[in-house]
Chains A and B, each alone.
Chain A
Amino acid sequence: NAGVMQNPRHLVRRRGQEARLRCSPMKGHSHVYWYRQLPEEGLKFMVYLQKENIIDESGMPKERFSAEFPKEGPSILRIQQVVRGDSAAYFCASSPGPTHLHFGAGTRLSVL
């Protein structure tokens, strides 16, 4: 059973471009969470999704950020018009229900 798969592992974008981060949860897991880790900081919750539903997006910035978890395919975290402050590691986690989370290896976004 493969773990949580995130791609790409590293992503470089110039200011103003779009970033798309993908997360494939573990088989059988229907809950997906996105967290952001800024340099020298702990992880901060962004959004919690189940298939085709956003359950809690209280940690998402109000503009430029969106997330989806379609019926088929991976969960996508999309950042439009990236700025330097978006540079961070973005981690996805999945769980089969309200139990402990399994984290992916993360996507490290660098904005030039």
Chain B
Amino acid sequence: AQSVTQLDSQVPVFEEAPVELRCNYSSSVSVYLFWYVQYPNQGLQLLLKYLSGSTLVKGINGFEAEFNKSQTSFHLRKPSVHISDTAEYFCAVSDLDKGGSEKLVFGKGTKLTVNP
């Protein structure tokens, strides 16, 4: 069974500092990987996804992530954060079964707090 580990439950940073949110997954097959952001009392919004091709994936709001197959990681980065990036971030891996359903397995989330 697939699983996702987000190593940091909380990450506090100062505004304009760089940030990296870590994500490791376990899977015996090729996977698709996703990062979602959840603002307070809202649903999840897709930041970026890796399906195939280039291992460096660029997403919305200046975020990017790098797929590293040998380390089974998909860390999320942003070179300079804003106060508005304060939210919870979820890493997810797809569990494409034979039926083709996109059943996502989520990590427990990382709360990013950007301080002035």
Please determine whether A31 and B90 come into contact, CB atoms closer than 8 angstroms.
Answer: no
Minimum distance in angstroms from B11 CB to a CB of chain A: 16
Contacts of A55 in B (CB 8 A): 99, 101
Contact B42 A45 (CB under 8 A): no
Tell me the complex Cα distance, A101–B99, Å: 16
Chain A nearest CB from B32 CB (Å) reads 9
Instruction: List residues of chain A with CB within 8 A of the CB of B34.
Output: 100
Alpha-carbon separation in the docked complex, A99 to B104 (Å): 11
* Structural contact, A91 and B102, CB atoms closer than 8 A: no
Range of interface residues on B (Cβ < 8 Å): 20 to 34
B106 / chain A contacts, CB cutoff of 8 Å: 35, 42-44
- CB <8 Å contact, B43 and A103: yes
How far is it, in angstroms, between the C-alpha of A6 and the C-alpha of B44 when the chains are bound?
Answer: 13
- Do the beta carbons of B43 and A101 come within 8 Å of each other? no
| Contact-residue bracket for chain A | 20 to 34
- Asked whether, in the complex, the Cβ of B108 is within 8 Å of the Cβ of A41, the reply is yes
- Chain B, residues 14-53, CB within 8 Å of chain A (1/0): the string is 0000000000000000000010100001111110010000
Determine whether A72 belongs to the interface, using a CB cutoff of 8 Å to chain B: no
Q: A104 contacts the other chain (Cβ, under 8 Å)?
A: yes
A42: contacting residue among B45, B90, B99, B103, CB under 8 A:
B90
A4 to B46, CA, bound (A): 14
